[in-house]
Amino acid sequence: SETFDDFGVSLFVLTTAISQPQSSLITFDAGFKSLASDKMAPEFRDVEGVVYHWGGDEHGIIQLNNPSKSIGLGDKLEVLTPHCDPTVNLHDFYFPYRDGLVQEIWPISARGLSQ
């Protein structure tokens, strides 16, 4: 099939740094319950030099190789979703935003309705 690359990724999950067990690792609050795990590991928007590792149902572990910006506890990062359809099915709402401000709240009406 033909591949189209006219548009970039537009679906992200906002995640927060919640602990730093080692100087080179930060734990975030986005794991299997937030992101579909059937594709490649998630990547981050606007941050290079980090690698996401699955940390379980509710956590992801970020390896800081040489981050392009400082990341500390409480910081929020946008995670590019590795597979959008099953990721959307894990959430109740979309929060579309522009220039850092939430514009609306859209319910995901088909959530949990698979038969």
Domains of the chain are: 13-107 (2.40.37.20)
User: What string of pLDDT tens digits covers the 115 residues of the chain?
Assistant: 677 778 877 889 999 999 999 999 999 999 988 988 887 888 898 899 999 999 999 999 999 999 999 999 999 999 998 788 888 888 999 999 899 899 999 999 887 777 7
The 3-state secondary structure of the chain reads: CCCCCCCCCCCEEEEEEEEEEECCEEEECCCCCCCCCCCCCCEECCCCCEEEEECCCCCEEEEECCCCCCCCCCCEEEEECCCHHHHHCCCCEECCEECCEECCCEECCCCCCCC
